[in-house]
Amino acid sequence: MLHTHRVAVLGGGSFGTVIANLIATNGHPVCLWLRNEQRVEAINRDHENAEYLPGYSLDPHLCATTSLEQAAAGIDILFMAVPSASFREVARAVASLVSPGTLLVSLTKGVEAPGFYLMSEILEQELPDNPRAVLSGPNLAGEIAAGNIAGAVVASRSEEINGTLHDLLHGERFLVYGSPDMYGVELGGALKNVYAILAGLGAALDFGENTTGLLLTRALSEMSRFAVQCGANPMTFLGLAGVGDLFVTCSSPLSRNYRIGQAIGRGQPLAEVLAGMDQVAEGINTLELLKAQAEVRGVHMPLVNGLYDILHHSRPVSDLFNDMMSREQAQDVEFVAA
């Protein structure tokens, strides 16, 4: 018999909405929290988030609210889907509203500035008594809403938590897998946004398929190199949160970070691109933080350094490839099983 959970999803963007609806479709009551009163009224009236997912019907088990108190009342699982810039603020606000047993799950693929805190680390700091998990993977919200088959990975240090989240979310068209490497899964989701900008830039400049293949594999090498230095398992990057998410985000115009790269490659100024976006593109923020953290840790990341110089110092794109060819480490696969 299905155990019914009471769930809140904080953040009414496209991904928060689609995850809330998947849970509601599985028979669990879900409260979706967002700040916009008019959008809340429209969701409750029309069962549709027309701003972000027009035409996507929302299950009757899902209701929306602007009240954190109402969203958090009586829940046993809380999903956080707010941008990284406001993640700590919302976590702090909800800390007094949930019980210590409430499971906290981050959906946000980003890094907090200043510093280099992942969202699970913020949850640990602000709600230290609560169990935590993350969800990541190649999950473009528009494709999930369209009913295309997708997969995600849930990660925590507890097999029981992973099993609970599997049962909560898993369906015929949304497949859920587990991992014990919470930090690696979360890093994969955050870091790939940087390389999606570079991939979009390359697409606008017609780099070609060979160059794209080179970029993706060297990006995966950089990501895993950095993550392992931070304590993650390199094998995590062979899964959905690594190569799966990297491939999708670096090849789809549905990716906000990829679209930024395309626009820059066509000559549009970065500030103008960002001003025209209706949702946060985490890759820009993550790029700056990642570059600084890699320098502190002594991690070799020529793609990160090159992209930073392109965006912030107007460096020619050709210089990036010259540097990569001349300075990249000669080893192809760095982490080889004995």
Binding-site residues for NAD(+) sit at: 11-16, 141, 256
**135 DSSP β-pair partners:** 154
- Hey, what are 297's tokens? 């840790």
CA 174 from chain center: how many Å?
A: 17
| Alpha-carbon separation of residue 308 from 39, 118, 248 (angstroms) | 36, 21, 22
Structure tokens at 246: 């990297």
**Residue stretches of the annotated binding site for sn-glycerol 3-phosphate:** 109, 137, 192, 245, 255-257
Indicate the annotated binding residues: 11-16, 35, 52, 109, 137, 141, 192, 245, 255-257, 280, 282
* Numbered residues of the known binding site for substrate: 109, 256-257
| DSSP line for 180-198 | S-HHHHHHHHHHHHHHHHH
Q: Are 240 and 153 in contact (CB under 8 A)?
A: yes
Q: In what helix (H) or strand (E) does residue 234 lie, and over which residues does it extend?
A: none
Lookup: tokens for 100:
């210590």
- Cα 74 from chain centre: 27
Please report, in range form, the residues annotated as the binding site for NADPH.
Answer: 14-15, 35, 52, 109, 141, 256, 280, 282
Catalytic residue among 39, 61, 192, 259: 192
Q: Is the dihedral of CA 8, 13, 16, 22 positive or negative?
A: positive
- Give the separation between CA 75 and CA 229, rounded to whole angstroms: 37
Residue 325 carries which side chain, given as an amino acid letter?
Answer: M
Helices (H), the chain: 14-25, 37-46, 68-72, 84-94, 119-126, 141-145, 159-169, 182-204, 209-229, 245-249, 256-265, 270-275, 282-297, 302-313, 317-327
Check if the beta carbon of residue 138 is closer than 8 Å to that of residue 244: yes
Cα-to-chain-centroid distance, residue 85:
13
In b/e form, how buried is each residue of 228-243, taking b as 16+ CB within 10 angstroms?
beeebbbebbebbbbb
Q: DSSP characters for 32-47?
A: EE-S-HHHHHHHHHHS
291 given a catalytic annotation: no
Active site residues: 192
